[in-house]
Structure 1
Amino acid sequence: MTQTRILALVGSLRADSFNRKLAEAAVQTAPEGVTITLFEGLGDIPFYNQDIDAPGLVPAAAQALRDAVTESDGLLLVTPEYNGTLPAVLKNGIDWASRPYGVGALKDRPVAVVSGSISPNAAQWAHGDAVKALGVAGAKVVESAHLHFGTFDQRFAETHPREDAEALAQLAATVRELVQAASPELVSA
């Protein structure tokens, strides 16, 4: 059986972030034959600069991201909202993974976007910005896999999302839609 590999990118660098907890819960929802790996190191990647995006100059952290995206069958982006948009660290990751233009690691890669915040808006502005950037970068955004979580601070104040049956069911549905886009033969089997 072929293993489907999903790479999760979390837009919050805070160790105890609600978005990271959502990504951790998503890992637990992976069906048989699917692995979800959280990418560590987004915060180590320097801001995209075309002057250093050349053979022999690409920073190791940026190359590690590109390699991880290339080796994945699909991406799960989990984003908070900072000042009405997606975090710079996540946008920077998208920028590095999209290059070289037209043939970058994101090209034709299925991607699902999950957004969440303490606001009832559920980080939908950041979500929209992520979808836009991914689309321009050539990724295949899986619209049916979109998911939004609002009022984190209330909903998950006492529990981890992996202990919330409704959150797990929602994340499992998102993962299933992403896997369907990345490996349709796995889901239909």
Structure 2
Amino acid sequence: MTAFVTCDLLDDHPDSNIQVLGPSLDNKFFKSYGGRKTFGGEIVTVKCYEDNSRVKELLASDGTGKVLVVDGGASMRCALMGDMIAESAVRNHWNGVVIYGCVRDVDAMAELDLGVHALAAIPRKSNRQGVGVIDIALHIGGVIIIPGNYIYADNNGIIISEEKLVEL
């Protein structure tokens, strides 16, 4: 993957339609939990609330060049991804996962070659009831996230672009 800095991508593409995923309206910020600190790729989306069934299914499929963006409704009650699902994502070549919600098993996740940004960590797992919607536009932090667009994340933050800004 080509190295990049989100700040530089914004500066280098002033005429591009780039959105910055800032804190949510209730002031929740994304934190980095994965072993890969800089990541990006084509966006795949899932919307689910306290049920990680679709997250598990998607990350068990080929994710070459992709990043899964999960709208978990900012729930702080359970995790939508842990180390076993993250290991599956690595095996299936996903570049990263951005979760508007929680993760768990963060020490193990920090050892994996996977970018992971989430709002928080919590030890409780989610319930699996097969609930969730895949490949829909998401509205997170004032930003519209559309499947097929591109996402770039590092320790400076997360940006979304309609076009590929660097080779990933």
Q: What band does the TM-score fall into relative to the shorter chain?
A: 0.3 to 0.5
Q: Which has the larger radius of gyration?
A: 1
Of Structure 1 and Structure 2, the greater helix share is in: 1
Of structures 1 and 2, the one scoring higher in RCO (CA 8 A, sep 6+) is 2
Q: What's the TM-score once normalised by structure 2's chain length?
A: 0.36
Q: If the length of structure 1 is used for normalisation, what is the TM-score?
A: 0.33
